Amino acid sequence: MIIFPLAFGNNQYLELNVSISAIWISTLFANLIALDHMYKEDYDDGTLLYYIVNRVPLVTIVYAKCLSHWLFSGLPIILIAPLCSYIFSGYNENNLNLFISLTLATPIFTLIGSPIAALMLGSSSRGAALTFITLPFYLPIIIFGVMGTNINNSNINAEFYLLLAILSIGIIFFPMITVKILKGMIN
């Protein structure tokens, strides 16, 4: 995040829109970098197989993985985003919007990423391919999140309701898919 103001050179403050985009892109990268290791190590050393053989409920494992991934890649960004927004643009009127939309969007990123990270378990090349496949599914969330953040009045608006709807469907639906995929990958 600190790179963005430096990259823009001699301007004292960034435009508000640019600073919002910078925060969202940083969120995205933080998420994608951590996503690669979500199930990778457990799959490689056989822990996942061990869970399945011992009939540990996989849903619990998946929820725990998602929660820890969110705690490490989502929560820090939510906490420092208002500060960063002020540092970037010298403007803190829309902090509430930024906070709410990031709070709604980062769990969705994690939840969407988890089945895709599970899908890529058996493949030989990783990293770049995972990023490439995950990005189109993140795009709608980013679009609505940025739209929600850019709103000038501080009312809670339609974009937040939409993100909330996606989150409440996704929190049930995506771990379910992940469990199905993990079972398919192991067997």
Shortest separation between residue 23's beta carbon and other proteins, angstroms: 19
Task: Confirm or reject binding of residue 165 to other proteins (CB under 8 A).
Answer: no
> Count of residues for the chain?
187
Rg (CA), the chain: 18
Using CB under 8 A, which residues numbered 56 to 95 contact other proteins? Answer: none
Cβ closest to other proteins, residue 5 vs residue 148: 148
| Cα(165)–Cα(104) distance, integer angstroms | 10
Cβ closest to other proteins, residue 79 vs residue 158: 158
Task: Confirm or reject binding of residue 52 to other proteins (CB under 8 A).
Answer: no
| Cα(62)–Cα(182) distance, integer angstroms | 10
CA angle 6, 151, 172 (to 5 degrees): 95
Instruction: Residue 183: name the closest of 52, 4, 39 by CA.
Output: 52
Per-residue binding string, other proteins, 98-137, x by CB under 8 A, is -----------------xx--xxxxxxxx--x--xx-xxx
Residues in touch with other proteins (CB under 8 A): 115-116, 119-126, 129, 132-133, 135-137, 139-140, 143, 177, 180-181, 184-185
